[in-house]
């Protein structure tokens, strides 16, 4: 253990060795937080004698949980398999599978994905005769999700509506939506956490059992937790208080998903006697990049003070590129990537283009195709959202849980069985009238009036499902999937509906990949079963599907969090685009601060090379717009940037050049002054036309007194004490000061 601790820096060692009571680790980007968590687990087991069975580690994605599991197993020789390493949702699924019957559900509940949820809301709104022109389905579902994130029940939501008609209508939808899910024995993703909290609050013995089980709890990416997740963790940790949360408030960028930054900012107020340890040493980026990140994020007021530093090389200045339009921007970035791959000896996969919105990817795709640059877009259609995969999953869901009305109805006529919409409508009416599921209504098809000849087709379908269900008890998952595809003649169905043979071939390849997934699951599962397999599929996030091919990554800034690249481009750095127009005009100042945190996240993805780019003119929503350079760019000391002449001209119009504030406590660094022949340095200080003590005028800051003039190498740095703007440092060439 001593050898392991020697590999940690001083703050990391403090974090590892602090084992009792609440602990808040403020871990800056690239500061080795996962290393700390792994070593802390090892320290608890090997030095403190803690039973691995009593340790719970929670993170947000399956990918992160898998990586943590691998690292735990590699460093802890005995007992690592007893540690629960899990996502929030996976943890709750395991608990609910065992105890959800205590709150009125069956233990083989189905997990609804986003498409399933939309379908339920659509049907609910139709049943309640709610005009979608007044309330959009997506808006209703978003409001329901936010309510669950805040642990607001349908009854509480309705009661709080008051005279707000929209809220009252959404409350009705919410109430009926939950009723429908209950009838189908289904939970959505938000319910997984909400229902676990409900279980704990209504069953003290169950809560106590898990409190005893998880005496030491560690939560990664704590800044991304919502109110419900905070409530879950608070319940689990309330008995022993041995809760260690790791996060960075400067990287809290998921407010739109319900993340509550107050969970980390106010952690010490909620958990008394909290110890706070800051991890500020960065192991990822050059000092230049970190200085840029520090300069931007310090402009936020709603944060905990910290500054990243590194023992890495100082590195190159970041590059600021200015282009006439968005197409030129994409072409310029494409050429720069090819140049770096050739000259800097980096791979395409070392490069990432990060943008604020998905719509920005189009021009880069076109440019990359023209330049023959391999690329991949991250955040496209998830594998499990493809039609052919969802169809087979619907069969598996129906076999596992016939209460799932959505799954049953999806496959009732896939492949086509001649069961018309009128027949489906009659079955649904019968189900509603008798308060039973759609599938149970089909089992009583002969009792449904006017069903006619369709009864035989329905009976054939239910017999087929019953047969598959029997086979599932003796077949492997692989054989079951193959049997479903063969028995339903699903490939023939694809050939009928696809106009292009290539589309069918691609779908067949996807089905082959799904079969491989089933095999991989069975090979790795201790007790493989259909329910668990469906859970694993449902919990897979987009980020889990990233491959290792040598291609440039195109992705949104939100998707980039947690990743790192040698060479990063932050494109579209313009006010109105990034930061967004909505955040600039918002009455809530925290919206702009979140945009700044998003910029900070983008900057700190870069290891060696960072380029910021903006276009003077851009086509948006079919119209040409002219935007100023992003205010975030203007917050970066010019000494840290290498700018092309166009970028310098854009900045010179309304941007003074402040001296960089030293954030690094370890070492000093060289300042870079970026000019070309467009801006010639004055021959001497005397040729400036003013001297120390003179009164001068600046176009923006007004009248002031020159207090200092320093030779900066390629220009003179002038310090002026302005009457209204205070003390400013600027370069003479840009300042254009006029003696009064």
Residue 739 a catalytic site member: no
652 pLDDT exceeds 70? no
Per-residue pLDDT reduced to its tens digit, 176-200: 999 999 999 999 999 999 999 999 9
Catalytic residue among 13, 33, 172, 607: 33
What is the pLDDT averaged over residues 515-542? 82
Per-residue pLDDT reduced to its tens digit, 51-92: 999 999 999 888 888 888 888 888 887 788 889 999 999 999
Q: Which helix (H) or strand (E) holds 464?
A: helix 454-472
691 pLDDT exceeds 80? yes
499 — pLDDT class (breaks 50, 70, 90): low
What is the pLDDT averaged over residues 611-623? 79
Distances (CA, A) of 665 to 27, 281, 310, 346, 397: 17, 10, 9, 31, 57
Residue 156 a catalytic site member: no
661 — pLDDT class (breaks 50, 70, 90): very low
Would you report the helix, strand and coil content of the chain in percent, each value rounded to 5? 50, 15, 35
Write down the pLDDT at residue 442: 94
φ, ψ for residue 713, nearest 5 deg = 105, -80
φ, ψ for residue 388, nearest 5 deg = -65, -35
234 pLDDT exceeds 80? yes
Residue 305 a catalytic site member: no
Catalytic residue among 149, 191, 220, 535: 220
140 pLDDT exceeds 70? yes
537 — pLDDT class (breaks 50, 70, 90): confident
Cβ atoms of 32 and 193 closer than 8 Å: no
Residue 553 a catalytic site member: no
Residue 509 a catalytic site member: no
Distances (CA, A) of 134 to 141, 177, 300, 552: 14, 18, 38, 43
Write down the pLDDT at residue 740: 84
Residue 504 a catalytic site member: no
171 — pLDDT class (breaks 50, 70, 90): very high
φ, ψ for residue 37, nearest 5 deg = -60, -45
Q: Which residues contact 507 (CB under 8 A, 6 or more apart)?
A: 386, 387, 388, 494, 498
Q: How far apart are alpha carbons 92 and 83 in whole angstroms?
A: 16
Q: Which of 192, 116, 184 is nearest to 402 (CA)?
A: 184
Q: Which residues contact 145 (CB under 8 A, 6 or more apart)?
A: 190, 258
Write down the pLDDT at residue 214: 97
Cβ atoms of 64 and 315 closer than 8 Å: no
CB-based burial of residue 193 (10 Å sphere; 0-12 exposed, 13-18 middle, 19+ buried)?
buried
Write down the pLDDT at residue 579: 95
Q: Which residues contact 601 (CB under 8 A, 6 or more apart)?
A: 29, 251, 253, 557, 560, 561
Q: How far apart are alpha carbons 569 and 353 in whole angstroms?
A: 5
Distances (CA, A) of 265 to 27, 587, 727: 13, 22, 33
Q: Which of 311, 306, 309, 310 is nearest to 25 (CA)?
A: 306
Neighbours of 269 (CB within 10 A): 9
Tokens of 74: 């590699």
What is the pLDDT averaged over residues 92-105? 96
Catalytic residue among 59, 117, 178, 251: 251
What is the pLDDT averaged over residues 396-414? 92
172 pLDDT exceeds 90? yes
């Amino acid at each position: 253990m001593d050898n392991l601790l020697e590999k940690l820096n001083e703050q990391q060692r403090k974090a590892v060795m602090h084992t009792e009571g609440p602990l808040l680790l403020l871990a800056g980007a690239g500061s080795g937080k996962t290393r700390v968590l792994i070593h802390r687990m090892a320290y608890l087991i090997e030095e403190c004698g803690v039973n691995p069975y009593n340790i719970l580690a929670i993170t947000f994605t399956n990918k992160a949980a898998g990586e943590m599991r691998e690292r735990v197993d590699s460093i802890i020789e005995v007992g690592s398999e007893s540690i629960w390493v899990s996502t929030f949702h996976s943890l709750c699924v395991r608990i609910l599978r065992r105890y959800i019957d205590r709150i009125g559900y069956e233990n083989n509940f189905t997990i609804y994905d986003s498409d399933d949820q939309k379908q339920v809301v659509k049907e609910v709104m139709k049943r309640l005769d709610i005009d979608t022109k007044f309330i959009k389905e997506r808006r209703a579902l978003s409001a329901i999700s936010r309510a669950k994130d805040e642990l607001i029940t349908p009854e509480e939501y309705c009661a709080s509506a008051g005279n707000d008609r929209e809220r009252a209508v959404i409350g009705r939808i919410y109430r009926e939506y939950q009723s429908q899910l209950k009838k189908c024995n289904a939970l959505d993703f938000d319910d997984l956490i909400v229902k676990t909290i409900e279980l704990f609050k209504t069953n003290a013995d169950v809560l106590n059992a898990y409190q005893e089980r998880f005496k030491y709890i560690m939560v990664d990416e704590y800044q991304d937790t919502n109110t419900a997740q905070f409530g879950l963790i608070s319940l689990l940790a309330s008995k022993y208080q041995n809760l260690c949360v790791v996060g960075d408030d400067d990287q809290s960028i998921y407010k739109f998903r319900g993340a509550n930054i107050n969970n980390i900012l106010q952690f010490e107020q909620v958990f008394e006697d909290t110890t706070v340890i800051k991890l500020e040493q960065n192991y990822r980026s050059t000092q230049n990049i970190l200085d840029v990140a520090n300069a931007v994020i310090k402009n936020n007021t709603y944060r905990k003070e910290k500054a990243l530093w590194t023992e890495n090389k100082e590195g190159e200045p970041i590059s600021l590129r200015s282009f006439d339009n968005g197409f030129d921007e994409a072409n310029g970035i494409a050429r720069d990537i090819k140049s770096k791959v050739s000259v800097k000896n980096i791979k395409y996969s070392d490069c990432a283009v990060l943008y604020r919105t998905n719509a920005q990817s189009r021009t880069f795709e076109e440019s990359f195709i023209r330049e023959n640059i391999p690329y991949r877009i991250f955040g496209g259609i998830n594998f499990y959202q493809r039609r052919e995969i969802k169809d087979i999953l619907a069969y598996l869901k129906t076999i596992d849980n016939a209460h799932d009305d959505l799954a049953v109805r999806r496959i009732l006529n896939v492949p086509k069985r001649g069961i018309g919409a009128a027949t489906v409508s009659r079955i649904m009416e019968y189900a509603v009238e008798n308060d039973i599921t759609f599938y149970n209504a089909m089992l009583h098809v002969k009792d449904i009036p006017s069903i006619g000849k369709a009864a035989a087709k329905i009976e054939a379908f239910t017999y087929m499902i019953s047969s598959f269900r029997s086979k599932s008890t003796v077949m492997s998952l692989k054989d079951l999937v193959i049997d479903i595809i063969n028995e339903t003649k699903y490939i023939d169905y694809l050939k009928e509906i696809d106009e292009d043979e290539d589309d069918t071939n691609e779908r067949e390849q996807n089905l082959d990949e799904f079969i491989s997934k089933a095999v991989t699951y069975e090979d790795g599962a201790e007790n493989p079963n259909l329910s668990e397999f469906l859970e694993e599929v449902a919990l897979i996030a987009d980020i889990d599907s990233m491959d290792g091919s040598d291609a440039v990554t195109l992705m949104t800034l939100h998707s980039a969090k947690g990743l790192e690249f040698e060479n990063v481009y932050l494109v579209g750095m313009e006010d109105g685009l990034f930061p967004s127009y909505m955040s600039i005009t918002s009455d809530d100042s925290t919206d702009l601060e979140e945009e700044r945190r998003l910029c900070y996240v983008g900057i700190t993805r870069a290891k060696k090379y960072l380029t910021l780019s903006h276009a003077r003119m851009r086509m948006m929503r079919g119209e040409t717009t002219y935007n100023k350079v992003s205010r975030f760019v203007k917050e970066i000391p010019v000494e840290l940037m290498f700018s092309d002449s166009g970028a310098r001209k854009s900045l010179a119009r309304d941007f003074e050049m402040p001296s960089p504030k030293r954030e690094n406590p370890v070492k000093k660094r060289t300042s870079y002054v970026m000019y070309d022949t467009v801006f010639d340095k004055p021959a001497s200080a005397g040729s400036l036309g003013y001297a120390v003590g003179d009164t001068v005028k600046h176009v923006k800051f007004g009248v002031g007194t020159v207090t200092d003039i320093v030779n900066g190498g390629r220009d003179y740095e002038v310090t002026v004490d302005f009457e209204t703007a205070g003390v400013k440092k600027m370069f003479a060439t840009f300042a254009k000061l006029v003696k009064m």
